[in-house]
Amino acid sequence: MEIKHITRVGPVSLAKFLGCLYSFIGLIIGLVLGMAALFGMTFGEGAPLLGIFLGMGAVIIMPIFYGMIGFIGGLIVGFLFNIVAGMTGGLEIGLE
């Protein structure tokens, strides 16, 4: 097994990757919240249109919100990783 070190990551590349990953997670969470809103609308009392708008809004808003958070977090983590990797020599990984 060959040992390699990761000494630098591209912050923008990591930000794009995490933005897409978090958008997918946000879509899943939005679908769950949307289903909960529709379930509550079906069996609960109150304004049925509010449940529809909240359910649809969750499916649209959550991926956008999570994607933005993932992108910003990826930029910060990529920048901090480069600083820490420069001080410590990087992250050791094994390749075969």
Q: Give the position of tokens 């897409």.
A: 20
pTM (2 d.p.): 0.81
Q: Concatenated DSSP letters for 21-62? A: HHHHHHHHHHHHHHHHHHHHHHHS-S-HHHHHHHHHHHHHHH
Is residue 86 very low, low, confident or very high in pLDDT (cuts 50, 70, 90)?
A: very high
SS3 of residue 7 by DSSP: coil
Rounded to a whole number, what is the largest CA-CA distance in the chain? 63
pLDDT(46) > 70:
no
Q: What is the mean pLDDT of residues 44-63?
A: 78
Map out the domains of the chain as residue ranges: 2-95
